[in-house]
Structure formats: C-alpha cells, structure tokens
C-alpha cells in the first residue's frame, strides 16, 4: 500500500521548527486530500495543514510538542 | 465540446485553452504545497494561489518569441509561458536536469526557448532589464513584445520609476504588468502606499496605464489582446495593473493569514480557477467529464514532472565554478597560474592620440564591426558628445546606436543587461565610478550573476565604461574614489583598467566582444594627459594579460591605472640610489595575470602592490597574500601592499595628495622593504 509521509514542513524561509499544536483528525480516520489534518504553530503564525493525499491517517507523534523541520509526525496510507 | 448556450464574450475554444493553463498552474501549486507539507521535498516557495488567471489569459496571445520576465512569485508565469514542467521542478529542487542546471532555483528561472528570459528575486529589478530586451526587439525591427511581471510591492521601489521613464521616452515595445495582489510580502495596501491605484502613474510618464480585473479571465484576455497588438504595432509601452488577490502566504504553504476567515471565504469565491471551471460548465462549453479530463491531464503532467525531478541528481559540487564565466579558467582560485599569450600589435600605421581619442577610435571601430553593438549613457549625444568627449560627432552618424539616456543609472545598466541577454553587445557609460552605488543591484545581482543563475542558458555580453576622477584634485569625495574592489568582489564580472591609450583602445574592444559582462575603468587624469602613437584599425589587448613596463631586479612594483605612471617615476628616482625596480602594469584586474606577477617576483624576490584604492581589503592585500603563500621560500621580504588611507577622498589638495600613495611615499615603502 502506498503511503505518504507527513513531516514538519518548512513553511517560511526562516523556519527551523514547528509545534504540532493539535491533530484535527483522529488517529486511523480516513481523510480527503485538502482536508485540514493538524494545526502547526511557528514563530510567524498558526496554520491548518491540509492532507496532501486521501487515505487513512496514522499519527506518529503527539500534539503539543515542538519538532525540528523534517521530523516525521505521521503518514497517510492509501486505502 | 458541447454547443454554447450563451455568449461568453470570448471564443469558447480560447476560454478552454485559458482554463487548461489555469488548471496546469493550479495543479503545480497544489503539488508543490502538498510536497512541502508532507516533506516529500523542500525548497523555498512563494505561492501564487489566486493569481492563475493573469498569465493563463495572456498565454494564447503570445508566442515563445515574445519575451517574458517575472519575479520569485512567478511559477504561474513560467508554467503559462511554456517552461517545461520537468525542467521547472528539477530546477526548483536544485537538480542537474533543471532548466538552469539547479544553479538558479525556483526564484531564478530562465528558459529562452519558451521566451522566459529572466526571473529576479530583487523586487522591481527585472523592469529595467525588460526595457533592454524590448529595445533589442525594436532595434532589430521585430514585432515581438516583452512583458515584465511584478507585484504591487514593486511600485514602491525606484527601479520601476527609472524603467517606466526610459520606456516612455524611447517608446519601447514593453508591457509593465503589475499583478496587484494587494499585499507587498506581509504589508498590505494602504499601509505601504497612499496611492489609490497604480495604473494612473503611467500618464505621468507619457504613456497609457490601465487597471483591469485580473481575476476575470475573459475581460482580462480581451483587454490584453488589444494592448499587446498596440505594443506590437510600435505605439510604445503600456502599464497594466491586474487586480487580483493573493490567497496564499508570502512564502511556504497554506492560506493567507492576513485576511480574516470571512474575508478569505469571500476572496475564495472570486478565485478564478473554480470560478472559470463553473462558468465553462454552466455555459455548456464543457461537460464535467471534459473538465475532469483537463484537470486529470494536468495532474498527470505535474506528477511525471515531480518524479523526473526527484530522480535527477542534485547538481554536484564539481559544477561550482562552471558558468561563473563562459570560460571556467577565469574564476580566481588557489595555485592558479594560467598562461595567456600577450598581444601582437599591428605593424601598420599609427597615429598620435590622447587616451580619450583612442577610446573614441575603439568606439567607432566597434560600431563598424558589428551592427549589434550600441552605446548608451548620459550626455553621449552631441552636444557635448559625451562629457569625456569620447562620442564627438557619433550621434549624427549612428542615430539609433548612440543612445543618450536620462540620468538614471539603474535604467542604463538594466537596459544594457536586457539587450545583452537578447544577444546584442551594448556598451554602457557610467559617468563616474562613484555612481555604481546607485546601480550596484543591476551590476551585481543581475548582470554579474545571470549567467550562473541561468546555468548559462543566458549570458550578458555587455560592457560598462566608467571613470575614476582621483588624482586630479578638487572633484571631492563623490567623484574621486577608486572603487574597483567592490566590483572585484562580485563573481561574474571581468574588470580591466588601462594605463595607456593603446591599451585603452585594445582592452575596450576585447571587452565589447567578450561574452561576459566587463567593466573598463578609465582614469580621468590619464584620459587627457597621456598621449602616444596608437595603432590604427582593429586590434585587441587580451583580457587577463599584464605588461612589464620596466624591467628590474630588486623589487616588483605591481600596479595599474594612473599609478603605473607614478611607479615609473619612482623607479627612475630609485635607480639613482642603485635600486632596480620592475614595474608591472596589471591592465586586467580580473582575471589577474598571476603567471606574470609570480614570474616577476620569483626573479626580484620582493613585491609591493600599489593602488589608489583604499588599502584595507583592497586588491593589493589579495595579491600580496597570494605572493606570500606561493613564493614564501623565495622571498627576501614579505610581499606588501600600499593603498589609500581609510578615508573618503578629500577636497583639500593637501589631504588628497597625502592620502593616496604618491612618488615620495611609495619610494619610502620600497626603501623599507629593501632593509629586510
């Protein structure tokens, strides 16, 4: 099954880390591409991050913590 | 295609084509944002979500022969102009198969086969360059149009003023396309301007400005159709303000955070991509299945491009010094000792000329040799025939190719850069080198870097002539400085600095016909006080070849410009004391002739580099350090440098004489070095 890895994105030129503020979708739930799946806080803003593809969300890191850019926080497994 | 049920005000087939481009742009935007969010790849992205209709509506009106310039927020412009998506994505990811070999990246795309000529990350910087491309089209008698895209933020910067003023006075076939997305980076209108609109500014420059709805592809296309036709017909420039809305962040991914949730929802309702899709469906032009097929094809094209880009290797470190210049031997590097043959001057007739007359001779020869050579600069028409008298009588003989400009150095250098990118050989005069400060962005960020940023997809065969007023006295701090070190610190430029009329002519001709941007620095003092028999006709002094002006055995005096003359006087004086000085005239400051420099010092065992430029961080420090590293065991004394004191040039003659190395102080330094 194809899966798409979710990592803390580099949203701004100056981003080095981001806080995974809240998962907006339950672990294991089906998501549609474009659906907001978590909120990310950076020094600049709070943003809803949308699912890049459709599939089943697997959470790998808990919300409420700050991670470096590139940290794998979950994946979306194609159904 | 279904039969239309109502009049759309546009050929439905054209609207479908516009939608196809919008769909491609949208899929590119979506795929980049998804790839960045998921961490599939990383690069700095300045999204253009919401602005898709502008380039999409123009696409059916232009061909790859028409030029387009854009900015870092310009992926939509690239896609619609026809830059291949595979090369575009590979470039954005810094890969070898990128359209610019991964050296320019997403903010610096150039792809001449599709007419995408230059992309700048300096706000407003491309507008003056667009003038040069447009001038090349005009001088060559084509009907090509040049479109310079920029954001509303660029309306605040002086470059655009200079660009519009020059385009107006020269009636250039250029369109200034302001994509007004209502926010400059993070600062919205009206926080950064009190202007109510931007289009009305064009009237002040004597040409037409129009404000259009950039989110209405039909109305925008129809208006642009007329505008592009007018510009092709030679009616001069047009300023177009295309009002749109940036729905995305300044950089990165996600929706804009400068609008409230309600404002964003309203803005999304006017988003041209879904709006046009809906229109095509409701008007019965295309069925849902046909629209899906367009979107599907775009998605497939984008996915294939991303897979191609990810499979392409990251451009390797071995490429580092390639594309700085056309010749990879030019960039200075440790232990470099390139051997270049000296000139062979013609044996025929010679004529007594002052340096400024030798320069005029070179100018006339270049105009005769190549119809693509032209000159631009302040006051180069008659009268006065150039404030340094190098253009006397030429305007009448070459009315189109001797182009007096407004007092606007950014416009001059940008125009030369653009014409050079189009393949012409422009020669720009910057009256005094002190004025490079007002056009350094054009020289440094654009002319010098363009070959590298484009992976040699483009290059800039232009020449800048400029004068230093030092040594004459009384010109003051803003007309006397020796600023060559600033230029030497910018990879991509070649710099020559003649000290004789023969060299001034031969080096200038070499610069004009060189394929990289060259700067010839001339000394005002030498221009009028040096005369010699100069060979007639075309000859070249090769770039990167120094000359021994006097042979000697105790010390090498390494210098250039008007200090060659001073060092020759010093050598004459010191000979009376039994000190034998060799005097090396560098002639070219980049590339340096380290072979002749080191050969001389190997013989003498001592070196002093002398220049009028500030000693601290000057070229002398560089040369002395290299000599010390390369010839340490052979030196009788440390290689030394001697430049001007660390102060602006004073108006007082007593201070100027003392602050720049003079015959007395140079001789003193030589005697000190002989004491080791």
CATH number of B501's domain:
3.40.50.970
pLDDT at B5: 54
Rounded Cα–Cα distance for residues B624 and B593 (Å): 14
Compare all CA atoms of chain B with the CA of A76 and give the residue at the minimum distance.
B38
The 10 Å Cβ neighbour count of residue B582 is 23
Last residue of a domain, one of B312, B336, B365: B312
In a domain, residue B5? The reply is: no
Q: Is residue B342 part of a domain?
A: no
B583 lies within 8 A of chain A by CB: no
CATH code, B600: 3.40.50.920
Are B501 and B388 in a shared domain?
yes
Determine the pLDDT at residue B300. 97
For the domain bounded by A3-77, which CATH number is listed? 2.40.50.100
**Which chain A residues are within 8 Å of B255, Cβ to Cβ?**
47-48
Interface probe for A, chosen from B253, B273, B295, B302 (most Cβ of A below 10 Å), is: B253
Chain A nearest-CA distance from B307, in A, is 14
Which residue in chain B has the smallest CA separation from A5?
Answer: B38
Q: In this complex, is the C-beta atom of B251 within 8 Å of any C-beta atom belonging to chain A?
A: yes
Q: How far apart are CA B482 and CA B434, in angstroms?
A: 8
* A5 neighbourhood in chain B, CB within 8 Å: 38-40
Q: Indicate the pLDDT class of residue A14, thresholds 50, 70 and 90.
A: confident
Same domain, B27 and B172: yes
Which domain range does residue B184 map to? 12-312
What digits encode the pLDDT tens for the residues A61-75?
Answer: 999 999 998 899 999
| Domain assignment of residue B419, yes or no | yes
The minimum CA-CA distance between A4 and chain B, rounded to whole Å, is 7
User: Is the pLDDT score of B236 beyond 60?
Assistant: yes
Which B positions 438-467 lie with beta carbon below 8 A of chain A? none
Is the pLDDT at B4 greater than 60? The verdict is no
Q: Identify the helix (H) or strand (E) that includes residue B15.
A: helix B12-38
Residues near B493 by beta carbon (within 8 Å), at least 6 away in sequence:
B443, B447, B448, B487, B516, B517, B518, B519, B590
Burial class (CB in 10 A: 0-12, 13-18, 19+), B567: buried
Instruction: Provide CB contacts within 8 A for B356, sequence distance 6+.
Output: B388, B389, B390, B527, B528
Give B-chain residues touching A8 at CB under 8 angstroms. Answer: 39
B435 has a pLDDT exceeding 60: yes
Q: How do residues B169-182 score in pLDDT, each as one tens digit?
A: 999 999 999 999 99
pLDDT higher than 60, residue B546: yes
pLDDT at residue B262 greater than cutoff 70 = yes
Residue predicted with more confidence, B223 or A52: B223
Nearest CA to B521 out of B618, B582, B435 is that of B435
pTM passes above 0.90: yes
Q: In this structure, are B251 and B192 located in the same domain?
A: yes
Q: Is residue B540 part of a domain?
A: no
Q: Please compute the mean of the pLDDT values over residues B83-111 and round it to a whole number.
A: 98
Q: Are residues B191 and B84 in the same domain?
A: yes
pLDDT digits (tens, 9 = 90+) for B654-672: 999 999 999 999 999 999 9
Average pLDDT of span B440-448: 98
**Domain C-terminal end among B312, B342, B374:** B312
Q: If we measure between CA atoms, which residue out of B542, B676, B658, B522 comes closest to residue B608?
A: B676
What pLDDT does residue A1 have? 59
- Give the chain A residue whose CA is nearest to the CA of B36: A9
Average pLDDT, chain A: 89
DSSP B614-675: ESTTSHHHHHHHHHHHHHGGG-SS--EEEEE-SSPPPSSHHHHHHHS--HHHHHHHHHHHHT
Q: Are residues B308 and B432 in the same domain?
A: no
Q: Does B37 touch chain A (CB under 8 A)?
A: yes
Active site (catalytic) residues of B: 479
The band of B36, judged by pLDDT with boundaries at 50, 70 and 90, is confident
**CB-based contact (8 Å) between B106 and chain A?**
no
Task: Write down the pLDDT at residue A68.
Answer: 93
In this prediction, residue A49 carries a pLDDT of: 87
User: How many domains, chain B?
Assistant: 3
SS3 B117: strand
Q: Does B187 touch chain A if contact means CB atoms closer than 8 Å?
A: no
- Interhelix angle for B409-421 vs B125-139, to 10°? 60
Interchain pair B42, A70: CB under 8 A: yes
> Do B38 and A10 lie within an 8 Å CB cutoff?
no
Q: Is residue B486 part of a domain?
A: yes
pLDDT of residue B171: 98
User: How deeply is A19 buried, as exposed, middle or buried, from its count of CB atoms within 10 A (0-12, 13-18, 19+)?
Assistant: middle
Q: What integer pLDDT is reported at residue A33 of this predicted model?
A: 85
pLDDT at residue B240 greater than cutoff 70: yes
3-class DSSP state of B536: coil
Q: Is residue B132 domain-shared with residue B16, that is, in the same domain?
A: yes
Identify the domain boundary among B475, B502, B535.
B535
B chain contacts of residue A50, beta-carbon cutoff 8 Å? 33, 37, 254
Q: If you average pLDDT over every residue of chain B, what do you get?
A: 96
Q: What is the pLDDT of residue B537?
A: 97
Return the pLDDT at B254: 81
> Sign of the C-alpha dihedral, residues A59, A62, A64, A69?
negative
Same domain, B378 and B303: no
Residues B94 and B217 in one domain: yes
Judge whether B274 is closer than 8 Å to chain A, CB to CB.
no
- Whether residue B442 sits in one domain with residue B486: yes
- Asked if B551 and B475 sit in the same domain, the reply is no
State which residue of chain B sits closest to A74, comparing Cα positions. B38
- Average pLDDT for B27-51: 91
Q: Do B34 and A33 touch (CB under 8 A)?
A: yes
Say if residue A13's pLDDT is above 80.
no
Question: Percent of chain B having pLDDT more than 70?
Answer: 99
Residue B331 within a domain = no
Tokens of A51: 């699912």
**Domain contains B67:** yes
What band does B186 get if pLDDT is binned at 50, 70 and 90?
Answer: confident
| The pLDDT value given to residue A15 | 78
Task: Using pLDDT thresholds of 50, 70 and 90, give the confidence band for residue A45.
Answer: confident
Q: Are residues B141 and B260 in the same domain?
A: yes
Chain B's closest residue to A69, CA to CA, is B39
Q: What is the pLDDT of residue A44?
A: 65
Q: Which residues of A touch B (CB under 8 A)?
A: 4-13, 15, 33, 45-50, 52-53, 69-70, 72, 76
Shortest CA gap A46–chain B (Å): 8
The confidence score (pLDDT) of residue A23 equals 97
pLDDT of residue A9: 84
Tell me the average pLDDT across B418-426.
98
CB–CB contact B252 A12 (8 Å):
yes
CA distance B39 to chain A (A): 5
What percentage of chain B reaches a pLDDT higher than 90?
A: 93
B-chain residue closest to A37, CA distance: B37
pLDDT, residue B34, reads: 87
pLDDT for B423 beyond 80: yes
**Inter-chain contact A53–B34, Cβ cutoff 8 Å?**
yes
The answer to whether residue B592 is domain-embedded is: yes
Residues B575, B503 share a domain: no
């Amino acid at each position: 099954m194809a899966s798409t890895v979710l990592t803390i994105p580099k949203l701004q030129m100056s981003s080095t880390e981001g806080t995974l503020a809240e998962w907006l979708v339950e672990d294991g739930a089906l998501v549609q591409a474009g659906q907001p799946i978590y909120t990310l806080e950076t020094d600049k803003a709070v943003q809803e991050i949308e699912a890049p593809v459709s599939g089943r969300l697997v959470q790998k890191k808990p919300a409420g913590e700050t991670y470096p850019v590139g940290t794998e926080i979950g994946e979306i497994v194609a159904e | 295609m279904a039969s239309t049920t109502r009049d759309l005000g546009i050929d439905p087939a054209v609207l479908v084509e516009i939608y196809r481009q919008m769909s491609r742009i949208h899929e590119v935007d979506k795929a980049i944002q998804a790839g960045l969010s998921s961490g599939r790849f990383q690069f700095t992205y300045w999204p253009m979500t919401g602005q898709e209709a502008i380039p999409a509506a123009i696409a059916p009106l232009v061909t790859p022969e028409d030029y387009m310039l854009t900015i870092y927020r310009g992926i939509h412009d690239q896609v619609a102009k026809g830059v291949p998506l595979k090369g575009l994505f590979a470039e954005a990811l810094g890969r070898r198969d990128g359209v610019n070999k991964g050296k320019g990246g997403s903010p610096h795309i150039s792809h001449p086969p599709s007419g995408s000529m230059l992309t700048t990350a300096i706000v407003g910087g491309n507008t003056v360059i667009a003038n040069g491309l447009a001038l090349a089209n005009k001088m060559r008698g084509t009907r090509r149009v040049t479109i310079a895209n920029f954001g509303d933020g660029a309306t605040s910067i002086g470059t655009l003023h200079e660009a519009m003023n020059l385009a107006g006075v020269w009636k250039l076939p250029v369109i200034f396309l302001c994509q007004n997305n209502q926010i400059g980076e993070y600062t919205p209108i009206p926080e950064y301007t009190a202007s109510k609109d931007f289009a009305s500014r064009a009237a002040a420059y004597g040409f037409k400005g129009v404000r259009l709805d950039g989110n209405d592809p039909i109305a925008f296309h129809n208006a642009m159709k007329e505008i592009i036709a007018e510009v092709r017909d030679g009616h001069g420039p047009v300023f177009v303000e295309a009002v749109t809305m940036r729905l995305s962040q300044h950089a990165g991914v996600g929706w804009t955070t400068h609008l409230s949730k309600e404002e964003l929802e309203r803005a999304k309702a006017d988003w041209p991509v879904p709006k046009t899709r809906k229109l095509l469906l409701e008007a019965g032009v295309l069925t849902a299945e046909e629209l899906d097929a367009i979107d599907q094809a775009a998605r497939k094209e984008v996915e294939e491009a991303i897979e191609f880009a990810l499979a392409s290797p990251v451009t390797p470190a071995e490429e580092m010094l390639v594309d700085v210049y056309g010749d990879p031997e030019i960039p200075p590097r440790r232990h470099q000792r390139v051997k270049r043959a000296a000139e062979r001057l013609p044996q025929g007739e010679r004529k007594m000329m002052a340096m400024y007359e030798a320069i005029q001779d070179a100018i006339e020869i270049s105009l005769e040799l190549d119809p693509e050579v032209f000159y631009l600069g302040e006051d180069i028409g008659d009268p006065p025939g150039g404030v340094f008298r190098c253009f006397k009588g030429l305007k009448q003989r070459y009315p189109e190719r001797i182009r007096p400009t407004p007092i606007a150095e950014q416009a001059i250098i940008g125009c030369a850069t653009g014409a050079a990118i189009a393949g012409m050989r422009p020669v720009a005069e910057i009256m005094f080198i002190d004025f490079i400060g007002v056009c350094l962005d054009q020289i440094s960020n654009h002319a010098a870097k363009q070959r590298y940023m484009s992976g040699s997809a483009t290059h800039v065969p232009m020449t800048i002539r400029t004068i230093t007023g030092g040594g004459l006295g009384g010109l003051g701090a803003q007309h006397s400085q020796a600023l060559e070190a600033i230029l030497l610190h910018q990879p991509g430029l070649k710099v020559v600095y003649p000290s004789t009329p023969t060299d001034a002519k031969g080096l200038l001709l070499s610069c004009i016909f060189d394929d990289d941007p060259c700067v010839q620095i001339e000394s005002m003092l030498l221009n009028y006080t040096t005369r010699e028999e100069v060979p007639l006709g075309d000859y070249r002094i090769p770039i990167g070849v120094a000359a021994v002006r006097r042979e000697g055995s105790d010390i090498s005096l390494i210098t250039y410009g008007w200090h060659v003359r001073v060092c020759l006087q010093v050598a004459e004086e010191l000979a009376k004391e039994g000190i034998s000085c060799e005097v090396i005239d560098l002639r070219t400051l980049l590339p340096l002739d380290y072979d002749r420099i080191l050969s001389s010092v190997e013989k003498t065992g001592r070196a002093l580099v002398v220049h009028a430029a500030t000693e601290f961080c000057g070229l002398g420090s560089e040369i002395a350090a290299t000599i010390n590293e390369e010839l340490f065991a052979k030196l009788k004394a440390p290689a030394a440098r001697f430049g001007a004191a660390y102060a602006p040039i004073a108006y007082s003659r007593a201070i100027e004489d003392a602050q720049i190395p003079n015959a007395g102080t140079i001789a003193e330094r030589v005697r000190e070095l002989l004491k080791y």
